[in-house]
Amino acid sequence: MRPLTEEETRVMFEKIAKYIGENLQLLVDRPDGTYCFRLHNDRVYYVSEKILKLAANISGDKLVSLGTCFGKFTKTHKFRLHITALDYLAPYAKYKVWIKPGAEQSFLYGNHVLKSGLGRITENTSQYQGVVVYSMADVPLGFGVAAKSTQDCRKVDPMAIVVFHQADIGEYVRHEETLT
Amino acid sequence: MKANREMKRLFVGGLGQNISEADLQNQFGRFGEVSDVEIITRKDDQGNPQKVFAYINIRVTEADLKKCMSVLNKTKWKGGTLQIQLAKESFLHRLAQEREEAKVKKGKSTTGNTSLLEKMKTVDFHVKAVPGTEVPGHKNWVVSKFGRVLPVLHLKNERKRKIIKYDPSKYCHNLKKIGEDFTNAVPISNLTWELEGGNDPMSKKRRGEFSDFHSPAKKIIKVQKNEDSTAFPTIRSKPRGIVESPHLIQQLAQKAPHNSSTPKSPYITDFDHQKFKNVFFQTSGLETTKKRNSISDDDIDSEDELRLMIAREENLEKTTWSSNEFENDPFEVVRDDFKSDFHKFHTSTGLGLKNSENNVTENGCDSDSGDTDEIIAMKKSSGKIENGVDFSQGEKSMYKKTLKSRKKYDLSDDCIKEQKRKNKVEIALSHRVKPLSCKSLIESSSSEDADSVSESTECEGDKEYNTLMENCLRVNLTLADLEQLAGGNQEAPKEKTESSGQETTAKCDRASKSRRTPGDLRRGQQCIHPEEIVASLLEGRENPCGKQKTKENTLKPKFQAFKGVGCLYGKESVKKSLQESVASNNINKDQISLKLEEPRNVSMGKWSLCANGLSSEQTPFQHAKEANDSNQIQPQKRQSFLSQGHKVVSPNSSEKRNRNPISSLLPLKDKKSSSCGAKTPNRGLDEDCCHGTGKSGESSEGRPDLCSSKTPEKSPEVFSRRDSQGSKTDFPLSVNSSSDVNAKDKHAEDNQKRLAALEARQKAKEVQKKLVHNALANLDGHPEDKPTHIIFGSNSESETEETSTQEQSHPGEELVKESMGRASGKLFDSSDDEESCAEDDNNRFRIKPQFEGRAGQKLMNLQSHFGTDDRFRMDSRFLESDSEDDHEEINEKKTPEEEELAAEKLKALNVVQSVLQISLSNSTSKGSVAAKKFKDIIHYDPTRDDHATYERKQDDKPKESKAKRKKKREEAEKLPEVSKEMYYNIATDLKQIFQSVKDTSEKEDNTPWNEDSDGEKAEVVQDTPALMTRSEQTGGFTFSFFESDAKDEKEETYRVEAVKPGKVAWQGDPRFQDSSSEEEDVTEETDDKKQSPEEVPLPEKETTRFFFFSKNDERLHGSDLFWRGVGSNISRNSWEIRTNNLRMDCRKKHKDAKRRLKLK
């Protein structure tokens, strides 16, 4: 467990900023306490200072996880967001996509969102913008990347992919072993 | 020339933003007559103008147009490059043209249509033959369904490799020739330019405002009957577009009465429902569905569930419908700040549902359905108003169909097909008579029935009379068994719905009837008021329909029907009431303004629908409930209807609702309730007369009255509001009559139930009142308490219970107070707010303000030592003794770890900054501010020692900003550097220019300079800038080679001085500067040229300035003489030689010329 290097921080923040934009600073600079990012087993954890102190008592090899896992660094030092970060991304998300009840299951099984399943989308979402996917009842289901801009979405045929799947809450079941 | 002028429309792009129409007119007026200028400014999201362009209608000749284009196109004018193009004609022009052309064509085509066909020698594609017959001579051509000859197609399926034979005789083709109907076309001047902004969801959507999403219906309904549960959603989920609302109304119309009429077979509603669907979509298979459904047997619960489901479906439909408005766009696009109203919606519906829950505990499921019905009705009303026009138009055809089908199984072919209108009237009449007959049967007074019938017929033609009589008889027979099942009252509305020749009129009937049927008590006396409404309704209904002829007919039967019903109850006063009603009708017709009628009566109809269903379905008790419900829903409703016209709707509908309760309440013998009930209608009537926008306000006023129905004193007040209705007398009478009805009431159990429920209701009300009272009392009491008592946060616990307990707790507080002193009495003022809330459970789990934060935690711990003992309630002052230590501790703790974290945070923030590329100006300070805020809850007292910590905190701030200061200083230091550069720049320029000058001078002066002077000059030239600065410092020390230039030089130097004060630092050794300046300047030459455009001419003059020579240098005199002398000699010699030569030549020529002249 160690703090992130500047490069790592940059890579991670760039990724997160895709979803929440400038709200990122709210994650870093929280009024309700000090929170920080810690790297442990290539995974980045978002930890409150309090928990950090507690976790300091546990040796590194025994420590499985602490705080909230935001994602992990791949071998190529890219950052990949995990679904566990959704709790922090969803409230701050700038661009959202709501999917119809019928398409929910498909999305939760790890599929992309087709236009037919698209219930609602934030206006002027640009292409390849990170979006948080909600159900029509406003339950955050996961996140992805807009494959089409809002304007394009209007034109494409119903079977076209509008949101690339990245993570969904179905992973809690499907990838139980890898999520920490 | 002028004849050639044509109207052209020009596009002029690239205009400046502050262009005016007059400008354009002037500009283009040169080329032709400018008739119309339209400037369009395109703006971006923020409203900043991006593009400005204009369309100009100009009457211009071709040549002029060309000239105009060539002259003005791509010229700069008023801050923009003009771009002129020919534009298409304004679409209005085109539309007008098109229409005219079409008109002309039409006129032609009608005359020469047949001949044209013959001329063309084409086959007539319309063959009158049975579909499917092959056309002789053409293979594979058959007569299709509608008589058109079409080829049999063989279509290949793309995927399945299967060839499908498409026989047009077996499929209906969907070809439709859409001919433009220019006769009915709206004149262009009357075209709709703007959609009126109603506040209803439809128009909102048209304007692009999307309503918040309502959650899809949960399908929690137990599938008791597969049929039903499936039938509903499938039918409902079909996108139906505009035609929908009438359907729904009809459905409802069908539904409500059915539910009510036959408690045994609640599923009749469903099949009815289905039937209606079928009627609309395909008019067949009615009987089968009916049979199927009629078999089904269920309890009432399922029915209620179904209703709920309908309500939900309705919501769902609404949303889906809205989103499905354009097929291509099934999804919604929302703004960034979108917040789904999912929860809101639930709460809003919950309002209604909550009530219903209360009722459920008392009375089962009755009220539930009521609420949902209301919701449905509400929804519908909003939807309806949008489609009001469509409805009124499209309605007719729809109902014709339905009528026919209905007729078939209800009256079994008793209606002959005549003219449709007549038919309708007949049917309506017959149906209207039905209830009469039913009731008469119940009363076992056939003679009366006859009377009523005869009365009604008096007003009509003979024809109608006959048919009516027939129908009467038949209906009596057919309905005999139904009557046994349900009370005549309940039957009546049902029949009414069936009879609905025109939906709404029928509805009106029902509305009025439902008002009457449950509690006809006030029939004799108060009939004026309902009649009024009916009249208004009818008028409103009639006018949009534009059926002047049928009006008379339809009006009359209705009132006859009323009469009939009335006579059943108040036997003696039948005739009186009749006359009264007719009279009032006539009067009211005149009185009521027509414009507001249409939406109002639509909604009224709907309200009456649901109300009707309810009333007939259950006991009047429910109406009491409904009335209450309506009160609660009212605010919601009002939100939805914001526009004026709609405002009128809501009060009206509320009036309606109130009316039902009246009738239902009256039999309850309760004077209070009856008074309240009576109040509401009166108010409603009052409103009716007023027709003002203040209605809603009034009704809202009245509503509280209704709620607090205990006070009969209030009713007079309301009555006093009434103008000339004479209702005061009515009121007691109505009460009396209510007792009569009660006596007649057969369902004793119902009564009991009602009473019990009412009692419970009142109890609840009282409790509520108490609550409110308490809350108010608290509000009032507290200001008094404040100064005397110290209110501690702990108080809020006790406050939640009751005021009495609060008082109890006070002694305990006082104890604390004594021990503590009152230094910080204001500390927990905020607790007042919470007390006023007095909400229950929620507060209990909230973190109390005194336990917030770190200090609060400590306090909590302290408190936990003593348990909940009031005597040892902990207060922040207990903490204060420790607080000093605490703070110190915290400070100590912070030092090692926190700083690390803070540093990390800073780093992270920096990264964030770089990632987001924004400036997080005071992000760090923000955090500190927030932290400070937390601590500021403890009041800062400068006299206290322990509060010095806070002061110190403030000291920290400047420390933090030290870095900034440093930065600033650095920046300040940088500035001179900038000026330095500028200085260099000038030097380079000069140098360059001088060099060039030098070169030229060298070229020009062919005379050889000696090396010494040459080198000197070069140096001098380079040094000039330095010289200038020098001169600035020393003042008036100027160098010039020639006296004449001295003045100019001075001016130059002054100017330079003004521009660059910073140069002062940069004199000293001029030579050194030169060398450095040369080096640096080479790199930045290009920039410098721009910076010193003024100074370009300056150096040229300065060629005369030199450094090493003073103005009157002695050294120069000698040399001056020397070279000047040489130069002058040379020139003079050459000049003399040349002049001599010239003179010689001149003379020679002159002589020659003279000689020649002489010779000649």
ipTM for this prediction: 0.75
Q: In the prediction, which pLDDT does A145 show?
A: 92
More confidently predicted of A65 and B378: A65
Test A24 with B335 for CB contact under 8 angstroms. Answer: no
On whether residue B141 sits in a domain, the answer given is yes
Q: Which strands sit side by side in the sheet containing A2-3, from one edge to the other?
A: A2-3, A35-40, A43-48, A68-73, A79-81
In terms of Cβ atoms closer than 10 Å to its own Cβ (0-12, 13-18, 19+), residue B972 is exposed
B335 interaction partners in chain A (CB closer than 8 Å): 122-123
Q: In the prediction, which pLDDT does B994 show?
A: 65
- In this structure, the answer to whether residues B5 and B74 fall within a common structural domain is yes
Q: Which residue of A has its CA nearest to B911?
A: A10
On whether residue B645 sits in a domain, the answer given is no
Cβ atoms of B399 and B503 closer than 8 Å: yes
Cβ atoms of B405 and B450 closer than 8 Å: no
What values do phi and psi take at B49, rounded to 5?
-65, 130
- In this structure, the answer to whether residues B69 and B15 fall within a common structural domain is yes
Residue A39 has pLDDT above 80, yes or no: yes
Cα distance between residue B808 and residue B795, in whole Å: 11
On whether residue B74 sits in a domain, the answer given is yes
Residue A135 has pLDDT above 80, yes or no: yes
Question: B149-178: per-residue pLDDT in tens?
Answer: 778 888 877 777 778 777 777 776 565 656
Test A10 with B216 for CB contact under 8 angstroms. Answer: no
Cβ atoms of B306 and B179 closer than 8 Å: no
Residues 6+ apart with CB under 8 A from B348: B636
Q: In the prediction, which pLDDT does B783 show?
A: 45
- In this structure, the answer to whether residues B4 and B83 fall within a common structural domain is yes
Q: In the prediction, which pLDDT does B971 show?
A: 66
A136 interaction partners in chain B (CB closer than 8 Å): 213, 215-216
Counting every residue, how long is chain A? 180
On whether residue B49 sits in a domain, the answer given is yes
Q: In the prediction, which pLDDT does B649 show?
A: 39
A49 interaction partners in chain B (CB closer than 8 Å): 897-898, 901
- Pure H helices in B789-922: 795-801, 803-820, 831-837, 841-845, 853-866, 876-893, 899-916
Give the minimum alpha-carbon distance from B1031 to chain A in angstroms, rounded to a whole number.
55
Alpha-carbon distances, residue B64 vs B6, B8, B31, B67, B90 (angstroms): 11, 11, 6, 5, 21
Which of A23, A98, A100, A120 to mutate: most B Cβ within 10 Å? A120
Structure tokens belonging to residue B388? 């009001």
Last residue of one domain, picked from the residues B173, B207, B242:
B173
Residues of chain B with pLDDT under 70: 1-4, 106-129, 172-747, 778-855, 865-895, 918-938, 945-961, 971-1128
On whether residue B41 sits in a domain, the answer given is yes
B851: which DSSP letter?
G
On whether residue B1133 sits in a domain, the answer given is no
- In this structure, the answer to whether residues B76 and B19 fall within a common structural domain is yes
Test A25 with B338 for CB contact under 8 angstroms. Answer: no
Angle CA(B360)–CA(B365)–CA(B368) in degrees, nearest 5?
Answer: 85
The CATH number for B1's domain is 3.30.70.330
On whether residue B143 sits in a domain, the answer given is yes
On whether residue B83 sits in a domain, the answer given is yes
Nearest to A40 by CA among A63, A58, A68, A57: A63
A45 interaction partners in chain B (CB closer than 8 Å): none
Q: In the prediction, which pLDDT does B445 show?
A: 41
Structure tokens belonging to residue B1131? 């020139």
Percent residues over pLDDT 90 in chain A: 10
A98 interaction partners in chain B (CB closer than 8 Å): 213, 332, 340
B904 interaction partners in chain A (CB closer than 8 Å): 3, 36
Q: Which residue of B has its CA nearest to A95?
A: B336
In chain A the domains, ranked by start, together with CATH numbers, are 1-86 (3.10.450.220), 94-173 (2.30.130.10)
> Does the beta carbon of A13 lie under 8 angstroms from any beta carbon of chain B?
yes
Test B333 with A122 for CB contact under 8 angstroms. Answer: yes
Give the minimum alpha-carbon distance from B817 to chain A in angstroms, rounded to a whole number.
33
Domain span at residue B25 reads 1-88
- In this structure, the answer to whether residues B57 and B11 fall within a common structural domain is yes
Last residue of one domain, picked from the residues B35, B63, B88:
B88
Question: B905-937: per-residue pLDDT in tens?
Answer: 888 888 888 877 765 544 444 444 444 444 446
A121 interaction partners in chain B (CB closer than 8 Å): 331-334
Please count the structural domains in chain B.
Answer: 2
Chain B positions contacting chain A at CB under 8 Å are: 213, 215-216, 323, 328-336, 338, 340, 342, 897-898, 901-902, 904-905, 907-909, 911-912, 914-916, 918, 920, 923-924, 926-927, 930-931
> Does the beta carbon of A123 lie under 8 angstroms from any beta carbon of chain B?
yes
> Does the beta carbon of A37 lie under 8 angstroms from any beta carbon of chain B?
yes
Alpha-carbon distances, residue B550 vs B161, B324, B460, B689, B1107 (angstroms): 59, 38, 12, 26, 115
Q: In the prediction, which pLDDT does B841 show?
A: 56
In terms of Cβ atoms closer than 10 Å to its own Cβ (0-12, 13-18, 19+), residue B178 is exposed
Test A153 with B920 for CB contact under 8 angstroms. Answer: no
Helix (H, G, I), strand (E, B), or coil: what is residue B575? helix
- In this structure, the answer to whether residues B79 and B130 fall within a common structural domain is no
- In this structure, the answer to whether residues B65 and B6 fall within a common structural domain is yes
Alpha-carbon distances, residue B972 vs B965, B1062, B1064 (angstroms): 10, 13, 17
Which of A5, A9, A52, A99 to mutate: most B Cβ within 10 Å? A9
Give the minimum alpha-carbon distance from A174 to chain B in angstroms, rounded to a whole number.
27
